[in-house]
Amino acid sequence: MLSSVRLIRRTVRLVHSPVCNPSRSFMDLKVLVSSLNDFASLSLAESWDNVGLLVEPSPPHTVHTLFLTIDLTEQVMEEALQKKVDLILSYHPPIFRPLKHITWKTWKERLVIRALENRVGIYSPHTAYDASPQGVNSWLAKGLGVCTSRPIHPSKAPTYPTVGTHRVEFSVNSTEDLDKVISAVKEIADVSVTSFSTRTDDEEQTRISLNCSQEALMQVVAFLSQSRQFYQKTEILSLEKPLLLHAGMGRLCTLDESVSLATMIERIKRHLKLPHVRLALGVGRTLESPVKVVALCAGSGSKVLQGTEADLYLAGEMSHHDVLDAASQGITVILCEHSNTERGFLSDLRDMLRAHLENKIDIILSEADRDPLCVV
């Protein structure tokens, strides 16, 4: 006799806990910030800017997910919290002017409160990425076509090649004077001394060269002014930091082959994924005028582009009068709104950071981030 067997189907739901997932990589916040600073040195940022780690949860803080945005608005913050990110890289610093209090009154204060309450850090690179060789301006130049480019305003090396910011040089005639001078200046902090023999008007002299800091300079001058012989022969040189050839603000781009303005407009719109741009034709120019040299600056371009010789200025925004000045010189201006010249860079940045960080963390882009201005 055969017995019947009834099969009962059951649905088993697997619950994945992100905390217990051993395959999910992470980085300590301090290690991650150090790596971000290595990717693009904060020394490239403008002196007026506010860059680096702006909001830090109490340590230790582990980062599983890095969230990229151009602007950190309240809508973007809500998206970041829903996606449970650990660190927000906001291109523009949400804290720029000093905050006198942290209350619920203003939207920027609320951003700080919500970040700390939810243990989310905030990091901003801003003008460090503007100036970086692999930064936003280099990305913007990719949309022009095949070209060579260089910074309009090159950055300077973060440190001087020699000790000090100034060099003081003078001559002494006697060994007695030489010993006296060297003994005195060695007592001044932040001064390095070298000497070498010279001949002036058939007279043997010893040339003294001092490298010193701004603070030490006044002490050196005070000492030398005690002797008319020394002081009348003193030269003071201001030492400049070396220029960095591939880093700096803006880009001056020379196309391998000139194209019509109409063609360039279409290239820019395609690169930025924009249906329209704003155009100010230079005096005497038409849509068929050739474009060979383009000066560009992502974001605000007035100060960076001013005075640069080019066929075309490309920027996010410029002041009304700066546009008039450029057009009067026969320079055409294309404006795309501030963050529209930056946002597309985030996809490239994500890929570069994944490689730089060796895929140790997840890196995602904001979907709520957008330029506040639109055409209606």
Q: Which amino acid is at 335?
A: L
- 178 shares a domain with 219: yes
213 assigned to some structural domain: yes
Mean pLDDT of the chain: 91
Structural domain of 257: 132-155+245-341
Do 179 and 293 belong together in one domain?
no
For residues 24-38, average pLDDT: 94
Tell me which residue has tokens 């603070």.
215
Last residue of a domain, one of 238, 263, 298: 238
Range in 51-60, 176-185, 328-337 the model is least confident about: 176-185
Which pLDDT score, from 0 to 100, does residue 228 have?
77
Rg (CA), the chain: 29
356 Cβ contact partners less than 8 Å away, ≥ 6 residues apart: 35, 38, 39
In a domain, 372, yes or no: no
Q: How many domains does the chain have?
A: 3
Is residue 366 in some structural domain?
no
305 Cα distance to chain centroid: 17
- Whether residue 117 sits in one domain with residue 37: yes
Which of 218, 238, 258 lies at the terminal end of a domain, its last residue? Answer: 238
C-beta atoms surrounding 89 within 10 Å: 24
Q: What is the pTM of this model?
A: 0.85
Domain boundary among 238, 265, 288: 238
pLDDT at residue 24, rounded to an integer: 61
User: Does residue 287 share a domain with residue 180?
Assistant: no
| CATH number (domain holding residue 60) | 3.40.1390.30
Per-residue model confidence as pLDDT tens digits over 45-90: 999 999 999 999 999 999 999 999 999 999 999 999 999 999 999 9
Tell me which H or E stretch contains 204.
Answer: strand 203-212
Which residues, at least 6 apart from 333, have a Cβ–Cβ distance to it below 8 Å?
279, 280, 282, 312, 313, 315, 318, 323, 326, 327
The string of DSSP letters for 144-197 reads G-SEEEE-SEEEE-SS-SSSSSEEEEEEE-SHHHHHHHHHHHTTSTTEEEEEEE
Which positions make up the binding site for a divalent metal cation?
Answer: 92, 130, 338, 342
Q: Clarify whether residues 267 and 334 are in a common domain.
A: yes
Position 373 in a domain: no
Any domain includes 202 = yes
Q: Do residues 146 and 276 both lie within one domain? A: yes
Sequence-ordered list of residues with C-beta below 8 angstroms from that of 15, at least 6 positions apart, any chain:
none
Task: Specify the amino acid at residue 63.
Answer: V
Residue 104 lies in a domain: yes
More confident residue, 164 or 356: 356
Q: Are residues 144 and 179 in the same domain?
A: no
Question: Based on the domain organization, do 189 and 260 belong to the same domain?
Answer: no
Comparing 1 with 282, the larger pLDDT belongs to 282
The answer on 287 and 140 residing in a single domain is: yes
253 & 335 share domain: yes
Tell me the CATH number at 187: 3.30.70.260
Do 69 and 192 fall within a single domain?
no
- Average of per-residue pLDDT across 227-251: 88
Which residues are annotated as part of the binding site? 92, 130, 338, 342
List Cα–Cα distances, 161 to 155, 243, 337, 355, 364, in angstroms: 15, 11, 40, 31, 40
Question: Residue 282 domain-assigned?
Answer: yes
Q: Is 355 within a domain?
A: no
Which amino acid, 51? V
3-state secondary structure of 12: coil
79/71 Cα distance (integer angstroms)? 13
Cα separation, 368 vs 78, whole angstroms: 9
Residue 264, burial from CB neighbour count under 10 angstroms (0-12, 13-18, 19+): buried
Could you tell me which of 281, 309, 315 has the C-alpha nearest to residue 297?
315
**Rounded-to-integer distance, Cα 313 and Cα 48, Å:** 24
Asked if 172 and 98 sit in the same domain, the reply is: no
pLDDT band at 272 (very low <50, low <70, confident <90, very high): very high
Q: Where is pLDDT greater, at 126 or 376?
A: 126
Residue 315, amino acid: A
Task: Give me the pLDDT at residue 20, please.
Answer: 38
